[in-house]
Every structure is written in structure tokens, then in C-alpha cells.
Amino acid sequence: MRGTPAYRLVSEIYEKLLRPEQETPFAVENPVFDNGQLVFFGTRLTAGFDGPATTLAYHLDSNGHARTLQEDVRLVRTSTLGKISALVVASADSCDEVMLCKAGGLAPIARWRAPGSVDSIAWSPSGEDLLILATGDVSRDAGIRGARVHTAQHEGPTWLPYFETPQDAQRWQSLWVWRLDRDSPRRLTSVGFNPWEATWLGNDKLLVVASAGYEEGSWYRSSLWRLPTDGSSGTILRRPDNQIGCPAASPNGAHVAWIEGVASGRSGVSGDVVHQPSPSDNSRANTNGVDVTHLVWRDNSHLLFSGIRGLETVVGEIHWETGSVNELWSSTSETICGWVPAASPAGSGDTLIAVESYEQPPALLSLQDRKSRTLLAAPAPTTQEFGQIQPISWEAPDGLEIQGWLILPPAEKTRPRNGWPLLVDIHGGPISAHRNRWSANLRAAPVLANQGWAILLPNPRGSIGRGQSFASAVIGDMGGADSFDITSGIDLLAQQGTIDPKKIVLSGNSYGGFMSALLVTRTVSFAAAIPICPVANWTSQHFASHIGWFDQEYLRASPSELVGPYLSLSPVFLTQNVSTPTLVLGGLLDRDTPSTQAIELYNAFREAGAPCALGIYPEEGHGLFGIPAYVDSAARILDWTTRYASG
């Protein structure tokens, strides 16, 4: 592939987007105000397209200059006393190190080697205790981070097997508290209690999302706990009907809030804000119709939230005593960077966000009094050579409004007489949403737009931003009404003459991979398909994936049933009339939709006689997000679409 015209073109375009020769990060996210300094994480290419991207922690000084911290720093938090900083440093053996340093310095005054990776750290409101959430020596990534399994390296030969038992004590995540007057932290939790998220509830208790099992699928059945730090037993505050996440407590510990909603995985819960004690009879807070994705308290009276409303990204604040909502920022022309929108308070009135759009790479903004100020911005391309994005909506067959985004080629290109060729990119989840994200986050999209393609990014039912009833409509109906939501959008573009109905290519990642594979078993009208990390066989998916709970809940069936959706919605069993040229891509280390799913799909389509190809990336997990694989997969998509849909 490296010597092909497709790879040369993709490399040329991504050289412009990612700027591997520059020291300025091409992506920024997670800005926080830490002891008077703005800290954020930025990603750079230090080895071009031949090596992985490097993510570094940066301080932004008052002159707008970004200064890197020590290499391999993953997390930074300074105590509220302003004297001690806690840094989490990654190591090659998957066991992170937590260092305590004097604020503003990097020389450790104490250090502790965690049993695995460290997911989060947080100082108590008093600034005297550090909370640490650590994995065991076998850790699991959420889907957006690749859904890999990491095993801490121990002495021994490399042939030793990966080994697992249901009672394996080393796989449980754990909570630790490190008092500043102690040499090392003390473990709070034990086997049988698996914390996924935790924050302080005052100075002597914790607010914890936890499950009774350590398996990734156990997360879906998590509850919210109040856990004392003195070692006494905790109590359950909430057993949700769906999923629960993002626990947040006011600094004085008097009020707690969290997010509840249907979720596809641990990558993030979006939905309603629930709180205790309630300032009114209704324990679900008013958020002006926003599906909330992140919560954090600014002070004891103001709860900062971020989320999605339709195609808008919104940042707002709830005044606790009155229940009133103050929207600080909302936009369709920009969105907040990252998998889920999140904002961070900075002092009494400022709010920090990292924003992007299809045409604008990530930038750091400060919000105050409904005005924004740019703190750091990467240079944007000087031309619109990757096309332009616009919101779009249409009516599904049952009359429901469906929304999405449409990318059209650059204005200087002339639309062909029969319309543009079209790539339909179906998002994963299914509980997720396409947003107005930077073009480099869309893999082959900017390359195809540059070459005269239109790209449709639909948000069918099951997407977030339209309320819980819209999101949950896909449960028990995957591949049902949501498939018609997608095809009706394609039909509209064809009727308008915008696209060429004979040059439509389907693609998508994860659930989008499943949908793009399923749709080509139902019709021969698509020119090509590129499922990425798909589900091909729901029965084998259930027993090979580490999120087996998902398919039972979303199919509303059991893999032990000999008939039903486990068979009728598995593309490998529906290949009788398949003829669409299909490129199947997967990651060998993927535990969400294991690479065997991609292999099954390829073999089923090959036996059916459809033109097909298979690519399994040996160092990639779920989503193929690593830079070498990301660029290579974009080139293979360009090559496949050129071969089967550009003639």
C-alpha cells in the first residue's frame, strides 16, 4: 500500500492536517485549571506516520506559550493547598507510577508504583488526601481507547499464556487514599467491589460507581455508592434502571449529582442529571433539553454541565438553590473536542473548553460572561480543500425527523451530471452521535471530499442529543427502524440530485461496521462497503467479546436461543444474495468486537462470491485509532472506493 497513489495522496493530505514536522500539538483536549495554571494534553507526531502519536501534558503560560511537562506524564493534579502536585507517569510494563512533587516542580518527594495503570486521581477538598483509582495487573481499555487488555509484565519467558479465572484477584480495580503524612497510599477496596469512577464526597467519604464483578460487561450493572474512607462498609445511593456515570459532589459534600441514561459502553454515559438531596420534588435537573455528557461542580452552588442538544454542543450551569439554568456556550459551528463533550471550571467565573470543527483544528477557549477568548490555537489550512460541512435533516418513513451532517466537496469542484459519489459513515455505539468534528477525526472523509465525494454522517435513532426515548428506541430494534433512518437520508440526497445513486459506499466503525455489513445483505444497490471492527455473528460475539451483556440487552434475546435476532441479525448468516464489494478491517487486540468478527464476515462474503478483502492490524484495538493504522486504513478506503465506486 505504501507505494500506491492512494497512500501518497492520503499522506499528502494528512501532512497538512497533522503537521508532523511541527512541535505544536495537532490535537488538544482535557484542559483543567490546576493551582492557577492551565494544564492540557496535546498530541504530536514525533515519528511521522511510521510511529505512534505522542500525547504530552502541557502548561500554558500567561503569554500563551505551551510548555511540556515531563515525558510520559498522564495525569496532573495539584492539591487545593497549592503545595503538592500529584503526577501519574506511564511505564513500559503497564504499571503506572504516582509521584508527589512540590507544586511547580518535577522532582518527586514521594513515589508509589501502582498495581496496574492509574485511571484517575483527585485531591480531597482539604488538599490533604489523594484519591487514586487503579487497575489490577490486568487492565482493560474502554472502547474509545481501543478495548485492549494490558497485562503487567513480570519476570518469566515470553511463551507464558494469558490466563484468566473468574476468581482472579489481580483483575479487580481498586481505590487507594494517600495521606500527605504517609509514605504510601492505603487500599480501601477489596475483591467483590470493582470501582469504575470515584470522586470525593467531603473529606471523609467517596462517591463511587462500582459493580460486583470486574468484567467489562459488569459495568453495565453498576450502582452508585457512598464509601467512607475509614474502611467501614459503604452504602448504595442508587441502583439505576439503565447506566450511571460521572458522579460529582459539591466541595462541602452537601450535594451530589450524576448522569443516568442508556449507554453502549464505558466510554461515556449521556442523559439526565440526577441529584440528591433534591432542591425540588423532581430529582432530575432541568438542562434545557441537553443530553448531558459531563458534570463538575464549580463551587457549592453551581453545577457545570456539558452535552449535546440536537446538533448543538452546549455548556451550561445549574444554580443549585433555584434550579435555574444559565447556558454559557452553545454552537453547531463548533463542538467540544474528545469522545464526549466536557468543560472545566477555572476560578469563580471562567470555564475552559477545547473546541474544533470540520474546518478548524482544536483550540483552547476560555468562556466568561457568554464571551469566548482563544488561549491556544493550531494553524488551520489556508484553503477549504477538504470540503465544507453543513447540518442536514430529513424525515424517516415513520415521520420521525432524523438529523445529521453533510460534507460536500470544495466549492471549486464541479458536481458531475449524475451527482457526487457518496460515502455514508455510520457512527458506532449505537448510543453516540456524529458532531461537527475536525476533519482529521474522520479518517478518509477529508481525502474523499478533496477528491470530489460527498460524505453523509447520519444520527439515526439510538443517537444522543434527542432525549432518552430517542436513544433507547434502538434497544430491541437494532438494524430495524434505525436502518431506514439511514437509507431515507440517502434517498433524499439522490432525489435532490446531490449524489449519484449508483456510487454509494457504506462504512462505519463498531456498530457502524455491523450496520454497513447488514445493509449490503439486504440490497445490491450499494457500490461498495467498508465495515471497520464490525459485529458479524452475534452469538460468537457474545462469547468472545468482553461486553457480552451488551448484545443480550440490545437484542433483547439470549444467545442460547436457536432462533431470533442472534441469527436473523448476524450478517454471516444472510449472505445468500451478497455481491457488494466489501473491504473488512479489524484490530487484532480488540476485545469489544474481536478480530474474529472481521474474519468471519470476510470468510462468509468470500464464500458467497462477493469481491472482498480483509485487513487485520496486529497492534490495533477497537477503532484502529493508532496513527500508522489510521493513515494506512484511510489509504485502503480510498483505494477501495476508487476501484469500485469512482468509475
SS3 573: helix
CA atoms of 313 and 259, how far apart (whole Å) = 17
Report CA torsion sign: 112, 114, 119, 122: negative
Instruction: With beta carbons less than 8 A apart as the criterion, state whether 34 and 77 touch.
Output: yes
Structural domains in the chain, sorted by start: 388-645 (3.40.50.1820)
Question: Which among 135, 340, 141, 314 has a CA at the least distance from the CA of 246?
Answer: 340
Question: Which among 243, 133, 265 has a CA at the least distance from the CA of 199?
Answer: 133
Q: Distances in Å between the alpha carbon of 140 and those of 73, 161, 165, 506, 591?
A: 20, 17, 15, 30, 9
| Residue 16: its H or E element | helix 5-18
CA atoms of 290 and 260, how far apart (whole Å) = 13
Residue 2's pLDDT band, with cuts at 50, 70 and 90, is: confident
CA atoms of 430 and 264, how far apart (whole Å) = 6
The partner residues of 261 in beta bridges, in order of sequence, read 243
CA atoms of 179 and 183, how far apart (whole Å) = 8
Instruction: With beta carbons less than 8 A apart as the criterion, state whether 499 and 454 touch.
Output: yes
Instruction: Give the per-residue pLDDT at 278.
Output: 59
Q: Does residue 282 register a pLDDT over 80?
A: no
Q: Which residue has the cell 467483590?
A: 192
Instruction: Give the per-residue pLDDT at 277.
Output: 76
* pTM, rounded to two decimals: 0.94
Q: What is the mean pLDDT of the chain?
A: 91
Three cell numbers written together for 578: 451478497
Task: For residue 166, say if its preceding peptide bond is cis, omega within 30 degrees of 0.
Answer: no
Residue 582's pLDDT band, with cuts at 50, 70 and 90, is: very high
CA atoms of 103 and 35, how far apart (whole Å) = 8
Quick one: what percent of the chain has pLDDT higher than 90? Answer: 71
CA atoms of 489 and 1, how far apart (whole Å) = 33
Q: Which residue has the cell 462517591?
A: 207
Which tens digits make up the pLDDT trace of 30-87?
Answer: 888 877 778 888 888 877 888 888 888 888 887 778 888 777 788 888 887 777 889 8
Question: Which among 612, 642, 144 has a CA at the least distance from the CA of 423?
Answer: 642
DSSP string covering 349-410: TEEEEEEEETTEEEEEEEEETTEEEEEEEPPPPSS-TT-EEEEEEEE-TTS-EEEEEEEE--
Q: Distances in Å between the alpha carbon of 469 and those of 173, 346, 403, 464?
A: 33, 34, 16, 10
Q: Average the pLDDT over each of 168-177, 563-572, 625-634 and give the range with the smallest value.
A: 168-177
Residues in the chain, overall count: 647
Instruction: Give the per-residue pLDDT at 148.
Output: 59
Instruction: Give the per-residue pLDDT at 36.
Output: 72
Q: Does residue 140 register a pLDDT over 70?
A: no
Which tens digits make up the pLDDT trace of 393-440?
Answer: 999 999 999 999 999 999 999 999 999 999 999 999 999 999 999 999
Which tens digits make up the pLDDT trace of 195-221?
Answer: 999 999 999 999 999 999 999 899 999
CA atoms of 103 and 86, how far apart (whole Å) = 9
Collect all residues with Cβ–Cβ distance below 8 Å to 604 and sequence separation of at least 6: 536, 571, 572, 573, 575
Report the helix count and the strand count for the chain, using DSSP H and E: 10, 38
Collect all residues with Cβ–Cβ distance below 8 Å to 382 and sequence separation of at least 6: none
Which tens digits make up the pLDDT trace of 99-115?
Answer: 998 877 778 899 999 98
Instruction: Give the per-residue pLDDT at 179.
Output: 94
CA atoms of 431 and 424, how far apart (whole Å) = 18
Q: Average the pLDDT over each of 320-324, 339-343, 447-451, 620-624 and give the range with the smallest value.
A: 320-324
